[in-house]
Structure 1
Amino acid sequence: MALELYLDLFSQPARSVYIFAKINNIKFDFKKITLFAGEQYGEEYGKINMMRKVPAMRDGEFHLAESIAIMMYLSEKFQTPDHWYPTDIQKRARVNEYLSWQHTAVRMHGTRVFWLRLMIPKMLGEEVPKDKMAAALEDLDGSLQLIEEKFLQDRPFIAGDDISLADLVAIVEIMQPVGSGLVVFEKRPKLSGWRNRVRAAIGPELFDEAHQIILSAQEMVKSMDGSTLQPFKPKILRLFL
């Protein structure tokens, strides 16, 4: 049985796994799970990932959830180039440090801005209070500043001279609020330079392909059926408002 990856490229973690597998020439079957259609709640997908999220992986009888765990598994199984998850103990510690931090920082803040700016007003028809929006933008700005000042400093990439899993996870999360129309890079030359290096290291074609959906989000929501999100509206509002 071929390696299967269950993905929706609207999802930041799914994009990181997709890019990682593609750039490392790891052959896989792309199993599309459309989140906004609720396909993650289907009976069959529940057998793949009972947490009902993407990405998920099936390698024969072995199932795995969580993007970082999946990429670490693929890195070891397919012996990907060392720079992705370095064997050098200090470089690996830098990668682990960022991956441990980002869950409750840039991931949380970028996702919240995306929903407050785009999905909640356009798909759910809810007005977002100005104070909530301002607080979300302030939190995201703080996370971006930490990426620049703590995680990048004067290095080309988070772990040093080469791209790693930390950079890949970081860029997909930062591109999420960009998809809502937020200007992120223009007034941050250090972050912008890093973004350009990450895009070049991944390859512009693959980078742009993986982010095409999220960068089209503002147009896509105009034709999307908001009723599919209505059953989840109370939960969404609790999470982001």
Structure 2
Amino acid sequence: MSGVPTRLVFSDVDETLINCKSMFDFLDYYLTGRYGDRGAATARSVRETLLAQAASGVPRERTNRTYFRAWAGESAAEVRRWGQRWFAERSAEPSFYLAATREALRGHRAQGAAVVLVSGSFPALLDPIAADVGAAHVVCTVPQSRGGVLTGEIVGEPVIGEGKSVAVRELFGRYPQLDPAECFGYGDHISDLPMLAAVGHPVVVGGSAALLARLPAARRLAAAA
């Protein structure tokens, strides 16, 4: 995008813009595709660990770190290549995008806004989505790599919860001409609250009672694919 956008429009990705949890879906796709039954078993074990942590009340910021430890030892370039392949296959499915959100973002872009994807997921999955929907920025969790190999750690903090609020503030710092009260945010989960509360026009995708209770004036957008 050339020049200064009319406003910034922040959007969560999983179950807000796309109809799946990208990190889980790609973990199964990659490990099974590369390693067969052994990889499928590993993916299943990781998923069970993460679900158990969530059920016991472990914050999403910590489960996000646990997820990335499963990638230790994998080639960063190979993960990116498989991410492009995953996107090509999944995006060909009619239900991949949540149509209402995608159309809303398209409308914002037509009015000169810059779309910003904000997610706890990672660039191998988000970059092709961003290119497809015309997002100007991607703010996400970044896996650490050394010598082209993923270490299992991340760079900085997960972009979840308060991490999303930090991302929003940093972007506004790059566009001091823009008024946050005129900007939009789209999210589906209570962990999106810090991001949605930072803009003047929050939009709740789906029917999260927790989000709607905290943002009673928010617009609601249907989550049907």
Give TM-score, length-normalised by structure 2: 0.32
Structure 1 length-normalised TM: 0.30
Which structure is richer in relative contact order (CA contacts within 8 A, separation 6 or more)? 2
The structure with more strand, counted as a fraction of residues: 2
The structure richer in helix per residue is 1
